Chains A and B, each alone.
Chain A
Amino acid sequence: MVPIQYYTALSAILFTIGALGVLTRRNAIIVFMSVELMLNSANLVFVAFARSFQSINGQVFVFFVMAVAAAEVAVGLALIVAIFRSKHNINIDQINNLRG
């Protein structure tokens, strides 16, 4: 059995990759997928610790995260579709209507 520290390290690497994806990509859909990656890395840590502490709560929490992620994706993709309709583009660098 691989010690739990390795899972957390892997999770950290995946999280950083996801974060870099959010920060560097301009395609709104890829940004979204990067967010999913970050959520997934967090889930991995939850499950790892659940195993480590022999507590079912971590796994239940992952279940909730998945549900929320599903909802988020549904709304997020709907938003992207709506934005594409008005802008004919999903480059998030061209969307700055909230500029101060």
Chain B
Amino acid sequence: MLIDWIIFFGLAVVAIASGIGLLLSKNAIYAALNLIANFTAVAIFYLILAAPFIALAQIAVYAGAIMVLFLFVIMLLGAERLGGTSTLRWQRPLAIVLGLILIVETVLVFINRSGAIAPIVEVTADFGSPAAIGESLFSTYLLPFEVISVLLLAAMIGAIVLTRRRDQKA
């Protein structure tokens, strides 16, 4: 359907544009805002791809919590801009060349392997619903789920330890 294509390309342009904006923005705050735009676009893709739970999680966790954290840190440090030039002269041109090669390669993969991908079929309404994901998490993926909780705890403690001031130790 045409509307599908229009939505896809529209969102794709937003996503790519905000990505390039992230890449090129001098100010870290602009970069963060670009990234939020990107995440939002991707969240809408998730909705289209029948993943409403993930889409909401994307908005809440990424665009919301994580990016707010980023912004906090940027503001806290006052490090939105950097002076001076890079000492790694060959880094940027090499990176651009490699990036182009990577795109060419992925395109080649896209061309070579397009036959292997199955056609899109309709899915049931409850596919990707929070209930379905919850069921899967608490049955098949119970152990990884628990491990993730421990990981988050560890990250929390690590963040506290790392940001603690030396003179506060005693």
Q: Which residues of A contact B (CB under 8 A)?
A: 1-10, 12-21, 23-27, 29-30, 32-34, 36-37, 40, 43-44, 47-48, 50-54, 56-57, 59-60, 62-64, 66-75, 77-82, 84-85, 89-91, 93
Contacts of B38 in A (CB 8 A): 14, 37, 40
Range of interface residues on chain B?
35 or more
Contacts of A90 in B (CB 8 A): 77, 79, 82
Q: Which of A7, A10, A50, A85 contacts B128 (CB 8 A)?
A: A50
Q: Give the total number of A-B pairs whose CB atoms are below 8 A apart.
A: 230
- CB-CB under 8 A for A12 and B120, given A37-B19, A40-B42: no
The majority secondary structure among interface residues of chain A is helix
Do the beta carbons of B156 and A74 come within 8 Å of each other? yes
Whether, in the assembled complex, B92 has its beta carbon less than 8 Å from a beta carbon of chain A, the answer is yes
Contacts of A30 in B (CB 8 A): 22, 25, 28, 31
